[in-house]
Structure 1
Amino acid sequence: MRRGAQMLLVPALLLGLAACAPIPVEQAERACLADARDATGPRTEMGIGVGSHGVRGGFVQIGVSSDYIMGRDPSQVFQECVQRRSGQMPTRPLYEQPGWRAR
């Protein structure tokens, strides 16, 4: 391999390894709330676009997580997600997290 190509490859590898590094537990808790919410049931999203010439289009989106299909407890999903992302246990359980509201 030529030296120029090696010089480009090393930063790319380091950047890839940095993406796998643990994140702070507080950041992981915020990110994992979405996974826990997805485990509570299907998520639906609807939208419509209206312009000066009337309706232009719309969409309906339905998403179901594998955690919901398998019947996993949202608090267990949250805990495992935080551990996977941060390498630490959550600072408080799911049901005490700011912004958590079960359906």
Structure 2
Amino acid sequence: MKKTAEELEEMFGVTAEQIEEWDEMMVRGEVPGKPVGEVVVGRPLLFGAELKSVGFKETEEKIEAIDRRADSLGMRRSDYLRWLIDKDLAAATVA
């Protein structure tokens, strides 16, 4: 059953006007509310697992292409490469 805009506003307690106002604030770089702590960027820590570095050399052109692709997905290079490896390993266990 499809809900009307009014039903959704009632359900979530937020009006379309409020959402538009919040969007405009975010575009200006203003974040409502009180800060709750330091923003930590990066991969979540893996507790209880020993981590080792993995690295390889690649051409500058390929690294630039990797960075462009990662950026287009909203990822950093390392997150993009981890994501690719996870996808391939998952596919290999299914195949």
Question: Would you call these one fold, judging by a TM-score over 0.5?
Answer: no
User: Which of the pair is proportionally richer in strand?
Assistant: 1
Q: TM-score of the superposition, structure 1-length normalised? A: 0.21
Higher relative contact order (CA 8 A, sep 6+): 1
Q: TM-score of the superposition, structure 2-length normalised? A: 0.22
User: Which of the pair is proportionally richer in helix?
Assistant: 2
